[in-house]
Amino acid sequence: MKTTHKVIGLSIAVGLAAWLVDTIVDYAFFSRPNQTLSNSFLAHGSPHEVYMRSLAAASLLVFGVLVAAIVARLERTKAELRENEGKLGAMLEAIADHVCMIDGDLNVIWANEIAKRLFGDDIVGRKCYEAYHGREKPCEPQPCLTLQAFQDGRVHCHETQVQDRDGNTMYFHCTANVALRDKAGEPAAVLKVSRDVTAQKKAKSDLLRSERLRADAEKLAATGRMAARIAHEVNNPLAGIKNTFRLVNETVPEQYDCSKWLRRLDGEIDRIAHIIGQMLDLHRPIREHESDVVVADVVEDVVSLLEPAMRKHGVSVEVIASDPPIAARLPQDSFRQVLLNLLINGIEASPPGGSVTLSAERVENTLRIVVSDQGPGISDEDRSKVFEPFFTTKERKPAGGLGLGLSICKSTAEALGGSVDFEYRTGRGATFRFVLPLTQTSEALHHG
């Protein structure tokens, strides 16, 4: 504005001077030719020359006024541009979405404050794939949204996953559109608007998880009804087997070597009968009495029961004993059931000649059992379904299971106040951890 004022003032001064000279010349030459002043002017040239100088002065006045008007117009235009630029910037900053502009070399040339807050103040000047995805080259295999906009000049949309400045995973719905074009009409810059849909993705994931849990609950309910019917049908012949076996057992003297195996078989028949009873009472909580046990003895007993399965699959079981032995008070049948299912799962997963390792240790006030196999491991695709009822990968083998073993392990462990989890590895076997809390009585027994 200062420059405008100077130009206007100078133009007015020049114009006034020219007007004054022209007036004096006109008065001296045409109105009073006999005056000394007229003679003085005439002494500097002919009347024509004096008139031409006056005309030049008038022209200079008009030129000055025009220059002043042009400069004033330019200043007003610049002020309007600054005002519009400020409004546009305020509008872009007020948008709750992440907005940036990217040039043909995929450099971020502008970003709003939300983008800087999420991805860092240094985002401007960096490659877009470096700033948003931590990559060293454009995004692949999915076609780059920005490159597509540069290639065809059309609007492109997709959903993408990025990492913010703190390493958190976020999901954005992105739209890329050409914002600037060069003189030839070719795209020069693309405006990319990204809307944070992380919350919507989480809500959708939670909804899918809820639906999956509901489906699992329906499966479990159906399993319960089926199990109750099967248990009812099995219970009667099982009672006959048990009574017949006891009659046979009474005919074998105790000094025979096979008597200990008969006693163990009798105990297993009792355990089957107990499980059948639980299945008949499936919809009511199971209240199992705790008993004092030595963990190593229970493990040895379970491993001996699995010797036929070990011979069948050509797999060995290695037990890493704890020192000193762990004594605890716990529900023995449920504990045995979890160990049995975990070991069967490891034996069936391992290849012939492989081995399954079981270790037990006391960690603070918990009992921790770790079972590792040498099978193919658990793929990323299967890891979320490992504990689902009826899920099994054994269906790919000649003799597939029902897919209830690990599901029963998890539900039984949780009913005991413990947990079962696993390490998912592909091609390197799987490791399952069974953690069971020890009661105060268990701890006293351990120290005793």
User: What are the pLDDT tens digits along the chain (448 aa)?
Assistant: 555 555 555 555 555 555 555 555 554 544 444 444 445 444 445 566 655 666 676 676 677 777 778 888 888 888 877 777 666 666 666 666 888 889 988 899 888 888 888 888 888 888 888 888 777 787 765 668 888 888 888 888 888 887 777 778 888 888 888 888 888 888 889 988 888 888 888 888 888 887 887 777 677 667 767 776 777 778 778 877 877 877 777 777 777 777 777 777 887 887 787 777 666 654 444 566 788 899 999 999 999 989 988 998 999 999 998 878 888 888 888 898 889 989 998 998 899 999 999 999 998 889 999 999 998 888 777 777 787 766 777 654 444 455 667 877 888 888 888 999 988 666 678 899 999 998 644 444 444 4
Tell me the backbone φ, ψ of residue 306, rounded to 5 degrees.
-95, 5
pLDDT of residue 433: 93
Left, alpha or beta for 417 (phi > 0: left; psi -120 to 50: alpha)?
Answer: left
- Residue ranges in 290-395 assigned as alpha helix (H): 295-305, 307-313, 332-349
pLDDT of residue 37: 44
**SS3 (DSSP) at 112:** coil
Maximal CA-CA distance, the chain: 169
pLDDT of residue 107: 92
Which value, to the nearest 10 degrees, does the dihedral of the CA atoms of residues 397, 403, 409, 411 take?
170
Give the pairing type, strands 316-320 and 355-363. parallel
Task: Determine the Cα–Cα distance for residues 95 and 195; give it in Å rounded to an integer.
Answer: 10
pLDDT of residue 441: 44
Task: Determine the Cα–Cα distance for residues 277 and 205; give it in Å rounded to an integer.
Answer: 39
Task: Determine the Cα–Cα distance for residues 375 and 354; give it in Å rounded to an integer.
Answer: 8
Looking at residue 388, the DSSP 8-state letter turns out to be S
Angle between helical axes of 2-26 and 47-94 (0-180°, round to 10):
160
The residue ranges of DSSP E strands in 343-423, in sequence order, are 355-363, 366-372, 419-423
**SS3 (DSSP) at 365:** coil
User: Which helix or strand (DSSP H or E) is residue 250 part of?
Assistant: helix 198-250
- Lookup result for tokens 């069971």: 436
Contact between 129 and 135 (Cβ < 8 Å): yes
**SS3 (DSSP) at 35:** coil
Task: Determine the Cα–Cα distance for residues 234 and 343; give it in Å rounded to an integer.
Answer: 26
How much is the pTM? 0.44
Which residues fall within 8 angstroms of residue 399, CB to CB, at 6 or more apart? none
